[in-house]
Chain A
Amino acid sequence: MKAKKITAFTLIIIMFTCAACWDRHEVEELGLVVAMAVDKESGSDDKFTMTTQFVNPNGVREPETGFKDSKAYFNLSRSGESIFETLQDFDIVSSRIPNFEHLNIIVISQEAAKSIDVYRFVHTLLAFWEVPRNAYVLISESEARSLLSREPELEHMPAFEIDRMVTTETGTSKKQFKRSLGDLAKDFAAGSSVAVQKVSFEESIALKGAAIICGKEYKLLGFLDERETEGLNWLNGNAVLSSISIEEKESGNVINTTLNIKKHKIEPKIKDDRISFKVSIIAEGDITENWSETSDVMESEFLRGIEVQISDEMEKRIYDTLDALQKKFKADVAYFWKTVRSTDFRLWEEIKDDWDDIFSEADIEVNVDFHIRGFHNRTSR
């Protein structure tokens, strides 16, 4: 027994000392990639350019002086036909091992999204490059690479800036709800179309509107403008702390209230061969701005009038959105299909391949019920 113990022990010791620590990479040897941009290679049909943003840790923080005298990031670009190969190429041009485990932001340009199979792209990243599932995907109106090059005002690098903008839950429904790689994978696996945040560059980076990616070929179909995105957000119940302005019917004055969606429900109605939907939304808000001279916000009649107006306005905007989704894009990005599947599974299995067409023909009735709750601190004016 003693002999066996000793042999075992010695073997283990030998193994430890012979160990080459195969997997050790020190943290300072890493090339951390925090953002990625995909553009279409100009002049070429098949090739696309990938730009990666590496972090320079010393630029982020100099322990001694506290100043950053070097830039916090640098970008590298490679082109190629295969995503995998292009990404591997980064090994050639960088002195550090590219590490995608902290990839935060992926921006795909409009042109690229129209030609590449986004699902394949998402799948490759998730399967082989250890990209975290909560990396956010955006579609950019112009060149994606330029978004990563702009020196940000407040943050250390463009990737962080964009990340902040995406993750902060702000008070507007004009930007589409954030979608991560994982979300995209889930939806694409089911063949669903997806609405993704759209990013554009005016004076600064702006996240407004939505990009529609079709669930069949996984390519970009087009964009929703701000109003339409609002409607979509309301449809999905993704509107927390947003607001709405209307022109008051009688006086034409602008009234603005906050908007919280309390309940949203999409009910499918399946009769014979026709599918129709009934959308019910209950929303609440407080009056924030009242430009009207005469009316008093405490007056209940006035309030009721506003409520009806706002409800109508919301319904109108949602109908506009549905118009765009059904007629223009024929893409169900509001997950109407999920409600069908959850009601009648067998039916869904039959029709799911034709869903886009069926969806575009479906009758959708929208009903919004808006209630004014209060008016914050001040009553009139």
Chain B
Amino acid sequence: MRIGKKEDNGQNDRMPSMEGKEIDSDHDVFLKHSLSSNIKLLNRYVSKDADVVFRFLKLLDGQQNAVLVYVDNLADNQSIQQHIIAPILKEFGKAKGVLPGPVKIDRLKGSVVTARCVAETNKLNECVLEIFKGNTVFILDGSNRALIFTTPGWKTRDQDEPLGEPSIRGPRDSFVESLQENIVRVRRRIRDSSLTVKKYSLGRRTKTEVAVMYLSGVANQKIVDELDHRITKIDTDSIMASGYIEQFIEDNILTVFPQVQYSERPDKTAAAILEGRIAILVDNTPFVLIVPTVFSMFIQAPDDYYDRWIYSTFIRCIRYVAILISLFLPAFYVSLISFHQGLIPTRLVIFAAATREGIPFPALIEALIMEVTLEILREAGVRLPKSIGQAVGIVGGLVIGEAATNAGIVSPVMVIIVALTAVSSFSIPQYSIGISMRILRFFIIFAAGVFGLYGVVMAFLMVTANLTKLRSFGLDYMSPLAPFRMGDMKDFLIRLPMPAMKRRPRTLKNRDEKRQGDED
């Protein structure tokens, strides 16, 4: 969403020539010494905004004027009153005897104001930026330096359990929309000094704060630099959510497969950082990006590490089977039933023929109808309120399937297959891969419907071709399967017991590989 030009609805009682003037970061505008000129300068940028507050202060019994500028409710009103206005007025409100001259900025900064984080600037454009960040600008008559107090005061929601990634045995906190709070959640889990936080401000109009976190001395410096390069290259109006950043930094736009992982869970993020990966936190989004990501990481869930290895290995294997099912089952059904009846056991063929008697559509069309219906239902389920959404998804599917079977439009076997496929795709931990599967599945079904088993195999070959050509920040997307790295296989299909996971994944080419064992 881009901020368009503001409409002139005739209620503009400010200076007529001022429409949203944009801060031009190339040209610095400097503050003057006179308060009134500074206010005039400032008004050029903020007079149109009704929620920008100018709080005038009369110091020394009116001898010196000052002004506080902030955005109502974006800055913390209470903090401004308590920590800025009150101390100032207390100290300088009344003229106390004979003072050596007017109030000096330095004194204010160091000894009077008790708000946190005081910065100083002589550039007006910076002041305006800070105002819109929720901070407070203090301009004193007679000084061309302005003080900036950090006073963000907006409310954030209470954190919930992460909705998209529930966990059976893991912590239940999740990220929220405030960048600083999110950083804190990660910091609580990694209390090491090597945890690095780099900040950027992206988006010309949104000026969204973005933080990049990684372990210095562990993460691959080349990847860190590459990421820095890609982020700084981003030049756009708005960054509304982390998804925007993902689309700018990913390696390959033309593939169905995501190359960036995202998560709502601080524990997963912290674990990724500890592995040597890099997290990207974006203000106003609870979804944190994690790079670099390879295919196998989409199939890992944090719960895999909280449980014992036998259980985790078992569940992982089931997940892999589920992926295969969700990709290939309908296609196999279509190809075997419509093309190669000689390849299935006799009893099965008779059974299939019996159940398909009277169905007006060929198997391919049947499959496509059911799949498309299911996708529509799924999308509908997302739009509805949470309580109804779940029910609509499942019940709708069953009911429609049942009705369609009774009407004789689709065969019961197809309904079962489609349901099984859908359920299988739900077992994939990362939603973005689930979407890829859904798209691919259509392609493979179609290939099966045209070329039978040959089509299925060719489609599989094409998908592998795409996968093998993908890279994520210079790493092979298909690691550790291809190129095969024995060392990483202990966390791929199976999960070896904790004491065996001594090294970080070699795929990432980290600087420090040791997880357990001797510390240096």
Q: Which residues of B contact A102 (CB under 8 A)?
A: 341-342, 346, 349
Task: Please provide the chain A residues from 40 to 86 with a CB less than 8 Å away from any CB of chain B in the complex.
Answer: 55, 57-58, 60-63
Measured in the bound complex, the distance between the Cα atoms of B449 and A58 in whole Å is: 25
Q: Are B354 and A99 in contact (CB under 8 A)?
A: no
Which stretch, A24-32, A226-234, A364-372, touches the partner chain B? A24-32
Q: Are B350 and A55 in contact (CB under 8 A)?
A: yes
Task: Please provide the chain B residues from 414 to 453 with a CB less than 8 Å away from any CB of chain A in the complex.
Answer: 446, 449-452
Q: Are B338 and A24 in contact (CB under 8 A)?
A: yes
B337 in contact (CB, < 8 A):
yes
Interface centre among B342, B352, B354, B364 (most CB of A within 10 A): B354
Measured in the bound complex, the distance between the Cα atoms of B118 and A101 in whole Å is: 85
Task: Please provide the chain B residues from 339 to 392 with a CB less than 8 Å away from any CB of chain A in the complex.
Answer: 339, 341-342, 346, 349-359, 362-364
* Cross-interface CB contact of B337 among A27, A62, A104, A132, cutoff 8 Å: A27
Q: Which residues of B contact A61 (CB under 8 A)?
A: 350-351, 354-355
B171 in contact (CB, < 8 A):
no
Measured in the bound complex, the distance between the Cα atoms of B346 and A102 in whole Å is: 6
* Cross-interface CB contact of B359 among A28, A32, A60, cutoff 8 Å: A28
Q: Are A27 and B338 in contact (CB under 8 A)?
A: yes
Measured in the bound complex, the distance between the Cα atoms of B364 and A65 in whole Å is: 27
Least CB distance, B363 to chain A, in whole angstroms: 6
Interface centre among B342, B353, B450, B451 (most CB of A within 10 A): B353
Q: Which residue of B is nearest A61, CB measured? A: B354
Task: Please provide the chain A residues from 88 to 143 with a CB less than 8 Å away from any CB of chain B in the complex.
Answer: 99, 101-102, 104, 130, 132
Least CB distance, A248 to chain B, in whole angstroms: 48
A154 in contact (CB, < 8 A):
no
Q: Are A16 and B337 in contact (CB under 8 A)?
A: no
* Cross-interface CB contact of B350 among A16, A26, A32, cutoff 8 Å: A32
* Cross-interface CB contact of B338 among A26, A63, A104, cutoff 8 Å: A26
Measured in the bound complex, the distance between the Cα atoms of B446 and A34 in whole Å is: 31
Measured in the bound complex, the distance between the Cα atoms of B412 and A125 in whole Å is: 35
* Cross-interface CB contact of A26 among B354, B356, B446, cutoff 8 Å: B356
* Cross-interface CB contact of B412 among A27, A63, A132, cutoff 8 Å: A63
Q: Which residues of B contact A58 (CB under 8 A)?
A: 354, 357
Majority secondary structure of chain A interface residues (helix, strand, loop or mixed) = loop
Majority secondary structure of chain B interface residues (helix, strand, loop or mixed) = helix
Q: Are A23 and B339 in contact (CB under 8 A)?
A: yes
Question: Interface size (B, Cβ < 8 Å)?
Answer: 26
Known: A16-B450, A63-B412. A25 touches B356 (CB 8 A): no
* Cross-interface CB contact of B362 among A24, A30, A62, cutoff 8 Å: A24
Least CB distance, B253 to chain A, in whole angstroms: 13
Known: A16-B450, A21-B449, A34-B346. A60 touches B354 (CB 8 A): yes
Q: Are B337 and A26 in contact (CB under 8 A)?
A: yes
Q: Which residues of B contact A130 (CB under 8 A)?
A: 342
Measured in the bound complex, the distance between the Cα atoms of B346 and A132 in whole Å is: 11
Q: Are A27 and B349 in contact (CB under 8 A)?
A: yes
Known: A21-B449, A26-B337, A28-B356. A60 touches B350 (CB 8 A): yes
- What does the 1/0 interface line of B90-116 toward A look like (CB < 8 Å)? 000000000000000000000000000
Q: Which residues of A contact B450 (CB under 8 A)?
A: 16, 19, 21
Q: Are A23 and B353 in contact (CB under 8 A)?
A: no
Q: Which residues of A contact B337 (CB under 8 A)?
A: 26-27
Q: Are A101 and B452 in contact (CB under 8 A)?
A: no
Q: Which residues of A contact B350 (CB under 8 A)?
A: 32, 55, 57, 60-61
Measured in the bound complex, the distance between the Cα atoms of B362 and A11 in whole Å is: 26
Q: Which residue of A is nearest B336, CB measured? A: A27
Q: Which residues of A contact B451 (CB under 8 A)?
A: 19
Least CB distance, A136 to chain B, in whole angstroms: 13
Measured in the bound complex, the distance between the Cα atoms of B350 and A99 in whole Å is: 12
Known: A57-B354, A61-B350, A61-B354. A27 touches B452 (CB 8 A): no
Q: Which residues of A contact B351 (CB under 8 A)?
A: 57, 60-61
Measured in the bound complex, the distance between the Cα atoms of B337 and A99 in whole Å is: 14
Q: Which residues of A contact B339 (CB under 8 A)?
A: 23-25
Measured in the bound complex, the distance between the Cα atoms of B411 and A61 in whole Å is: 14
Q: Are B412 and A26 in contact (CB under 8 A)?
A: no
Q: Which residues of A contact B355 (CB under 8 A)?
A: 61, 63
Measured in the bound complex, the distance between the Cα atoms of B350 and A34 in whole Å is: 11
Measured in the bound complex, the distance between the Cα atoms of B351 and A171 in whole Å is: 32
Least CB distance, A337 to chain B, in whole angstroms: 34
- What does the 1/0 interface line of A1-30 toward B look like (CB < 8 Å)? 000000000000000100101011111101
Q: Are A26 and B363 in contact (CB under 8 A)?
A: yes
Measured in the bound complex, the distance between the Cα atoms of B348 and A57 in whole Å is: 11
Q: Which residue of B is nearest A130, CB measured? A: B342
Measured in the bound complex, the distance between the Cα atoms of B455 and A21 in whole Å is: 11
Q: Which residues of B contact A60 (CB under 8 A)?
A: 350-351, 354
Least CB distance, B406 to chain A, in whole angstroms: 9
Least CB distance, B8 to chain A, in whole angstroms: 44
Least CB distance, A380 to chain B, in whole angstroms: 47
Q: Are B341 and A101 in contact (CB under 8 A)?
A: yes
10 residue pairs A–B, Cβ–Cβ below 8 Å: A16-B446, A24-B452, A25-B338, A27-B338, A27-B349, A27-B353, A30-B349, A60-B354, A61-B350, A63-B412
Lowest 6 A-B CB distances belong to which pairs?
A: A101-B342, A57-B354, A57-B353, A102-B346, A61-B354, A28-B356
